[in-house]
Chain A
Amino acid sequence: MGYTLVYLSLIVLIPLATLVVKTAELSPGELWALATSRRAIASYQVTFGASLVAALVNAAFGTAIAWALVRYRFPGRALVDAIVDVPFALPTAVSGLALTAVFAPTGWIGRWLAPLGIQAVFTPLGITLALIFIGLPFVVRTVQPVLEDLEAEVEEAAAVLGATRWQTLTRIIVPALTPALLTGFALAFARAIGEYGSVVFISGNKQFETEITPLLIMTRLEQFDYAGATALALVMLIVSFAMLLAINGLGAWARRRAGHA
């Protein structure tokens, strides 16, 4: 017990507290100025915008993948089920490298996009693609078990009572999936805003255009501008905490839902 607390403090709490201590060295005015500089605001826009789009794409496609895996039998199903976890297991630097190779104008997928005038690498689109990749397992793996536990009887009852498939889907299945879907979305979003490794390869890192906040923190650190880095980190930390609270809240809501059902 005592050991648990000491180790937790040494590895996690004290280091994170350092961040707060460092912030306290700045006056609120300075902190505000550093956290809201033009370059910082641009990086927030890129980070949160791309993360939001990526999480939304994952919510839609992740649910479709989970649905196909649970409800349908098709050749390659076991393979799809197995490799959904790859983005989670793959080191982020490798993910970034691989995606850059594939989506570059000469890459396997990029060469089909180039004639359409779509440039993926070194654009916000590339950042979004990387964030879709790393967020993919979160929605699939939170929706999948809930879908497996859905009892067929409820759907059958709806059908027997005269509901069409569409009505059953929107009135029975979607409400049952909503908490898990929101949790998966929040997890993917939370992971995306902090992501660094997979993005830096594909983003091109142009100031005001494709510079994500974690990269800007990195740049500030390399310039020994610890105050600037700290201010940005504090903003990110606050958002992360808010996401963590939201995810825990969603989890509690989902459990209550399951308990009532």
Chain B
Amino acid sequence: MGAPARGARMMETRGIAAPLAAAATDEPAWVRRIVIAVAIAFVGAFVLVPLAAVFAEAFKAGLAAYGRAITDPAALSAVKLTFLAAAIAVPLNVVFGIAASWAIARFRFPGRSILTALIDLPLAVSPVIAGMVFVLLFGKQGLIGPWLTGHGIQVIFALPGIVLATTFVTFPFVARELIPVMEAQGAEEEEAAIVLGATGWQTFLRITLPKIKWGLLFGVVLCTARAMGEFGAVSVVSGHIRGRTNTLPLHVEILYNEYEYQAAFAVASLLVVLALASLVARRIIGRRVEAT
């Protein structure tokens, strides 16, 4: 919807008003230039420059130092833990996301709008508080922590705590993407399948899933990206035990605090690549979601 097209349409309808209208539906050229310059400068200074800085710092000491930083045993174990935590948290939230969006889109029940609001709750809570509630619950002075420790189960400063905190902060992503998709899709085809004798599972696999798959994938990408990048919540519950309860973002902080700047930026650059990959995936999948 460029300016010339609009101007042309004006000309057809109101020949005389065209020059006047062009002046009143578009900004003067100098205003345009300033707005464009501001947009580019702002995004450039706040986004592009910092991203470039990460790579510049990461490769400052050369390729060999970069390689050493990312193949360090502590870095590798952080990579492993990050992927492991995401591999547990994301499927949990996918199953929940499908169930919750199904319930919200297909049924009318009391408390439906409250349920919708509650799903968004983790987004409104500070990551630090998200981690803290699990310390209050499972920590040494926590409500059920002492009982669990007595049975040999450690949650805080261990993998279960990291998984719980990650699951909490990524909780809404899949459900939020699926609710509008499911609502737009309607229940007619599913009802037809049931009437024709399909089981609930068959209906889900053959009718529902193919229709929601791009929306689902979009949610999975958002959820995975956040799960791998979460810092605040995981930081509270992890205990920062090097090589054991350190995820990639925590490892970046430790290196930074130990003045290992180049290594910190090298590990950070891995996370930048992951984040950019998730953005590309979102673009591609987002187009598919719009098409269906």
Contact = CB atoms under 8 A, between A and B. Distances in A.
24 contacts: A4-B96, A7-B99, A8-B118, A11-B164, A12-B122, A15-B137, A16-B121, A18-B143, A19-B133, A67-B39, A80-B39, A86-B275, A89-B225, A92-B229, A93-B253, A94-B249, A94-B275, A98-B53, A102-B53, A109-B45, A160-B14, A217-B128, A221-B132, A224-B140
A80 B43 contact: yes
Interface in B95-115: 96, 99-100, 103, 107, 109, 115
A196 to B, nearest CB: 4
Interface stretch (A29-37, A162-170, A176-184): A162-170
Contact of B54 (A3, A101, A156, A221): A101
A226 B48 CA distance: 40
Contacts of A248: 117
B272 A90 contact: yes
Interface residues of B, number: 92
Given A14-B137, A101-B265, A102-B50, A93 B164 contact: no
B283 interface: yes
Contacts of A226: 135-136, 139, 141
Contacts of B206: none
A196 B43 contact: no
Interface of A: 1, 3-5, 7-8, 11-16, 18-19, 21-22, 61, 64-65, 67-69, 72-74, 76, 80, 82-87, 89-95, 97-99, 101-102, 107-109, 129, 132-133, 136, 152, 155-156, 158-160, 163-165, 168, 190, 193-197, 201, 214-215, 217-218, 221, 224, 226, 229-230, 233, 236-237, 240-241, 243-244, 248
A196 B50 contact: no
Given A16-B125, A80-B40, A243-B124, A160 B117 contact: no
A4 to B, nearest CB: 5
Most B CB within 10 A of own CB, among A18, A73, A107: A18
B21 A159 contact: yes
A229 B137 CA distance: 14
Given A61-B38, A236-B129, A84 B225 contact: no
Given A68-B39, A156-B25, A165-B27, 8 more contacts: A4-B99, A15-B168, A83-B48, A89-B229, A90-B229, A91-B248, A194-B126, A230-B136
B36 interface: yes
Contacts of B218: none
Contact of A95 (B36, B50, B103, B120): B50
A164 to B, nearest CB: 6
Contacts of B27: 165
Contacts of A155: 24-25
Contact of B231 (A91, A159, A233): A91
A19 B129 contact: yes
A140 B6 CA distance: 24
A32 to B, nearest CB: 19
Contact of A98 (B17, B35, B50, B139): B50
B184 interface: no
Nearest to B3: A71
Contact of B53 (A12, A73, A108): A108
Contact of A193 (B43, B96, B119, B126): B126
Contacts of A97: 54, 252, 256, 264-265, 268
Contacts of A3: 96, 99
